[in-house]
Structure formats: structure tokens, C-alpha cells
Amino acid sequence: MAKQKFKTEVDQLLNLLIHSLYSHPEIFLRELISNSSDALDKLKYLTLTDEKFKDLKFDPQIDIEIDETNHKTLTLRDNGIGMNKEDLVDSLGTIARSGTKNFLSSLSGDAKKDSNLIGQFGVGFYSIFMVADSVEVITKKAGEDQAWSWSSDGKNGFTIAEAERDGQGTTVILQLNDQGRELDSQWEVKNITKKYSNHIAFPIFLHYEKTEWEGEGDDRTSKQVPTTEQINSASALWRRNKSDISDEEYTEFYKSVSDAWDEPLMTVHTKAEGTMEYTTLLFVPKTAPMDMYQADYKPGVKLYVKRVFITDDDKELMPTYLRFVKGVIDSEDLPLNVSRELLQKNKVLANIKTASTKKMLAEFKKLSEEKEKYDEFIAQYNRPLKEGLYSDFANKEALMELVRFKSTTEEGWVSLAEYKERMKEDQKAIYYIAGEKEEQLRKSPLLEAYEKKGIEVLVMADEIDEIVIPMAGPYQEIELKAINKSNAADDLKDEEDEKKEKAVEPVVKKIKKALGDAVKDVKASSRLHESPCCIVADEDDPSAQMRQMMAAMGQAGNLPEVQPILEINPDHEMVKKLADTKDKQVIEDVSWVLLGQAMLLEGHELKDPSDFAKRMNRLVGGAL
């Protein structure tokens, strides 16, 4: 029975749990009950679908025993699926798995008080060390003969040894500390259970000794009578009528399925009857899950069939871009023994997924009518919705109404519908500028002509915008045009611009000859008013930002090598003077400096900074 060390940064994590995150120590009971409920769910499924377990005598329940006399121990046991030695090491010997470092690094300053983070990293079990000096877990896995004991004080690792237990399941025995003893009474346990776990679908029984009195007057005596009392309603909340469920009950159920600590931003409870019968109870968290952008994100929706838990690890239950949604789907039409492989191809589940997706998008649309609340939603989930623009063609129109952008003329978030209402009569497209940093985009010389003409430009600084928006297509038959593409400026040209374009042709030829293959083309610009130049991409070429993003993803090799188009401002002093000079060195230096500064203004690195500096110094020296 050698002592083993915890994996990952357990000392930091447990200290954080005990002293920073958990402001309500009674939450430990919710975590233990939730674990037992999951274990019962899993075994119930096996008894219905696996021949090996169909004859198992199984009456699922959770039992809590308290010591009201001495307040030293609290015991919780279930007859669920149980654990073997390997399960104990994996589940209780590894704290927070690979997410621990991210978890700890995210907790800085006031964030350490944000207990909403706790459940997202699978560390809820360790809340017991707020109320206990030590814990022993005795467990036996269904279908196995050997029971095991896991014990720890939460400081010096843990021990695992062979043990004895009647039947499958898990027993957790807490040796309470001073804080825990305050919670070790029938009244406290009842209140905590009703508050956090009343919806648990299995009966929770409280065992305690009740004081009974006999006799009268001086002859009156008391005795302790063992008492058992069910302390939860044991009904699946999602199966009840909405009118019978309070906001508090919804919130507590949400907390149990999401590991969140606050109320949800949105609750969507639906019951479908007819050709398909199913119930969904889905929630949108106020704060995006911390693993939302990880490839191995944990799905947030549990699947039940006729109230029997099937899986909580299937990413097919909701589209990927709605991976932040939490809750349950309960179908009447799926077979209980449906396998993971069949789920992915099942028509019933595909129809439920389609209907649930449309319902959520419709609810988001309703939410958008409450601007302040929708801004809160968009701040967390705008990017996933944009992912849906290229992954969910069937719902593209609905998603186009939901996504939001920043603007050069308006404060806060704006919709495409709002932009359309503000368009000028002769305006041909919805214009946008995309790149890495909003602040840098707002200073781009590409905006000058649009600002002068009073045309609104959407500012898109999300890294996926350059991929998503071109693929999304037009909005209500209006084309979306990136102003850092060469063809966007054609809409701005007038007769005066065409005259200037012809007049500056000799300068264009000089610059094009000086730069050679460094640029795809050199053109006179109709979009510049103050800046001497800018760079744009050809209509069909990926922009420099796109190339940088693909390179970060290791996909740069999939894009052809392209050069930018340099546009020059015919009215700028530097360009006019370049028309008058015949000094080849000056022409060459000015041409390369124009290209270099245009690159820098768009946030790109120069291939040869020393050459840029040398040419700049030579020009400045000549001017002085």
C-alpha cells in the first residue's frame, strides 16, 4: 500500500480550491451527489443494453449517513458502476488532467475568486478538502470481484489498497474538519440537497438518528431511533411542464449539467410531439467554456433515451459551432441499445439535431431584440456563430442575421441588417476591412476614401473573418467586399480619378520597374487621400493576413506565393516629385520606401529591414 503522488500541480490546485475559489463550502455535497448520479446512469444503461448485466439486481439509489452526535464523519454511497484500481488512479489520482496549467494560469488577480471556472477542469471532487481533513473512497466496479480503497488528506498524495465491499458501487467517507462539522446535521444536508440536487433522477436517502421522547414530566426519557428519509424529488426535471418549474430549479439543474456556478444566460426548454417525440432542455452559459477552442473540447449535451442516460461524450448531438450549449436531449424514438457508431448515422437523432439547431438560432434571434443582453452573448459567442457560416449552409441565412461586427461609423456591435439600412442610395456593396488587430485596421490608409465619402466600413479583426466572410456569400443579394482587395476601389472611381490615373502613368512605370517582382502590379489609387500609398491583394489572391494565419496553422504550403499590389496616391507630394526626378537611385529608393511603409502600415514584417533603413537614411540625408 505504497503512497503515490498526485499527477499535475496538485499542491497549487488544492490550496487554490480551499482558500480562493469555493466561497460556499456546502458545494462539496453537490459534487459528490453529481458523481454518484453519473455512476448510476452508466450502470442503468448497461443493465438495459449489455447481456452481462441484464440479470444484475439493481435498485439505483444514493445514501447519505451523518453523525449528528459527534459531527466527525459524513458518508455518501451509491450502487452505481463503481471503479477499479485503474479508474481510481485516472479519476482521483489525476487532478484536472491536461487542463491544470491552463486553469492555474487563467486565475490571476480577481479571477481567483471566480468559482465559475472550477467545473470546467474536472476538479469538483476535490472540493471535499474544504470540509474534510481526509477522505476514504471504497469502491467495486460492476462485474468485477475485487474492491479497492483510495485514501488521501489532499496534501501528501494518496494510497490505494485492496478492500471489501458488498456489491458494486462507491462509498465516500469524509473525516470532517471544523468547517465540515457545521454542515453535518440533517437540516443542513436536507437544505443543501434540495437546493442543488433536488432534480437528480435517483432517490437520495438521508440516514440519521431521530430523537424520540417517551413518558411525561420527570419520567420523560429520550432515545435515538434510526431514521431514513428521501430528501429529493427524484424526477427528471426536463420531463416536467415548464409552468411547474421555477427559475431557481432551472438554474440548479443548469449548474449540475454544466459545472457552472452562476445562472445561465439563456434557457430553452422544448417538448416535441407527433412524428418525433423528444424533449430538450438546453442552456447557454454566461461565460464561454474555457475549452471552446480546443480540438478535444468536452461536449455539453447529454443524450437520454426514455430517461435512460446514453452518453455525454458525443460531439454529434449539436453542430460544432454550438459546442458551448449545455443541457440534455431525451428521445422517445431511439432504441436503448443504440451504439456510438449508430448514433452518428441515426436519422432520428439527425432530425432532432436539425430541429434543435433551428430552435436555438431562433431563440438567439429573439435575444437580439434585447441589445444589452445580446451584446453580452456576442462578446462570448460571436466567433463560433461565424464558424457556422461556412459549416452550416442550411442555416446560413439565419446566422447572417445573428453575427455582429465593429464599424467605422458606429459604436459597439452592428448587424448586417443595420448596415444595410444605413447604406447610401448609390452604394453597391457592404464594405469591410479584415485583419489581425482592430486598432491597426482603424488606422489603415485603405479607409481614407470611404471616410471622405461617408461610407461605413465593417471592421473585422477576428482571425477567421478572412476565411468565413468570402465563403458566406452575399447578404440579401448585396455583395460583401473586402476593401483590401484591388477590385473594391472600382466602385469609388469617377471621371476625375480616371484623369489622374492617366496623368500618373509615367510614375507608375518608374515604380514598377524599380520594384520588379516584389509586387504583382503598381496602380494609381482612387481610395487614398492623405497617405502616399497602400498595398492590396488581387481579387483572387489570399491576403497577407490570410497567409500568416495559414502559416500559424502549418498550412502555408497550401497557398501559392503571391505578391501585393502597390497603389499610389496621384495627389501626394512624394508621388508628384517622383514624376519630376530622373535620378535612378532616388527613384529606386522612393519606390522601395513606399512599398516598405505600406507593408508596415498593414502590420506586415519587412523581408529586409536593413535595406529599408538604408534607403530611408539616404533619402533623408539627401533632403537635408
Flag the least confident range among 111-115, 342-346, 435-439, 497-501: 111-115
* Gap between the Cα atoms of 195 and 115, Å rounded: 18
Q: What is the pLDDT of residues 181-218, one digit of tens each?
A: 999 899 999 999 988 888 888 999 999 988 888 878 77
Give residue for cell 452508466: 42
Predicted pLDDT at 480? 94
* Gap between the Cα atoms of 624 and 515, Å rounded: 25
**Does residue 275 sit in helix, strand or coil?**
coil
* Gap between the Cα atoms of 105 and 261, Å rounded: 20
- Greater confidence (438 vs 14) lies with 438
**H/E element holding 22?**
none
Contact (CB, 8 A) for 139 and 170: yes
Q: HEC string of 359-415?
A: HHHHHHHHHCCCHHHHHHHHHHHHHHHHHHHHHCHHHHHHHHHHCCEEECCCCCCEC
* Gap between the Cα atoms of 574 and 587, Å rounded: 11
Q: What is the pLDDT of residues 471-530, one digit of tens each?
A: 888 999 999 999 988 777 777 777 888 888 888 899 999 999 999 999 999 999 888 888
Q: Mean pLDDT score of the chain, rounded to an integer?
A: 86
* Gap between the Cα atoms of 222 and 214, Å rounded: 6
Measure the CA angle with vertex 273, ends 326 and 232; round to 5°: 50
* Gap between the Cα atoms of 249 and 252, Å rounded: 5
> What is the pTM assigned to this prediction?
0.73
| DSSP 8-state assignment for residue 480 | E
Average pLDDT over residues 162-169: 95
Average pLDDT over residues 108-113: 44
Q: What is the CA radius of gyration of the chain?
A: 33
Predicted pLDDT at 7? 58
204, with CB counted inside 10 A (0-12, 13-18, 19+), is: buried
Say yes or no to pLDDT of 18 above 90.
no
Contact (CB, 8 A) for 62 and 189: no
Predicted pLDDT at 546? 63
* Gap between the Cα atoms of 515 and 566, Å rounded: 10
Q: HEC string of 525-582?
A: CCCCCCCCEEEEECCCCCCHHHHHHHHHCCCHHHCCCCCCEEEECCCCHHHHHHHHCC
* Gap between the Cα atoms of 523 and 64, Å rounded: 79
Say yes or no to pLDDT of 6 above 70.
no
Say yes or no to pLDDT of 282 above 90.
yes
Say yes or no to pLDDT of 554 above 90.
no
- The residues, ordered by sequence, that sit 6+ positions from 191 with a Cβ below 8 Å of its Cβ are none
Alpha helices in 392-543 (DSSP H): 396-402, 416-422, 438-442, 448-452, 465-472, 495-503, 505-515
Backbone phi, then psi, for 311, in 5-degree steps? -160, 150
Predicted pLDDT at 118? 44
233, with CB counted inside 10 A (0-12, 13-18, 19+), is: middle
Contact (CB, 8 A) for 208 and 48: no
Predicted pLDDT at 398? 97
Backbone phi, then psi, for 97, in 5-degree steps? 50, -140
Predicted pLDDT at 98? 38
Q: What is the pLDDT of residues 565-614, one digit of tens each?
A: 999 999 998 888 888 888 999 999 999 999 999 999 887 888 899 999 99
Banded model confidence at residue 64, pLDDT cuts 50, 70, 90: very high
Contact (CB, 8 A) for 519 and 541: no
Contact (CB, 8 A) for 7 and 93: yes
Predicted pLDDT at 210? 84
Strand partners of residue 485? 537
Residue 278 CA neighbour count, 13 Å, CB half: 24
Predicted pLDDT at 121? 40
Flag the least confident range among 110-114, 150-154, 305-309: 110-114
Say yes or no to pLDDT of 366 above 90.
yes
Q: What is the pLDDT of residues 388-400, one digit of tens each?
A: 998 999 999 999 9
Flag the least confident range among 427-431, 529-533, 547-551, 611-615: 547-551
Contact (CB, 8 A) for 207 and 66: yes
257, with CB counted inside 10 A (0-12, 13-18, 19+), is: buried
Predicted pLDDT at 136? 96
Backbone phi, then psi, for 340, in 5-degree steps? -60, -40
- Greater confidence (85 vs 602) lies with 85
- Greater confidence (122 vs 126) lies with 126
> What is the set of domains in the chain, with CATH numbers?
3-234 (3.30.565.10), 238-367 (3.30.230.80), 405-623 (1.20.120.790)
Strand partners of residue 619? none
Flag the least confident range among 6-10, 88-92, 199-203: 6-10
Contact (CB, 8 A) for 43 and 80: yes
Average pLDDT over residues 163-187: 94
Say yes or no to pLDDT of 35 above 70.
yes
Average pLDDT over residues 98-102: 46
Measure the CA angle with vertex 99, ends 87 and 173; round to 5°: 40
* Gap between the Cα atoms of 3 and 119, Å rounded: 27
Say yes or no to pLDDT of 258 above 50.
yes
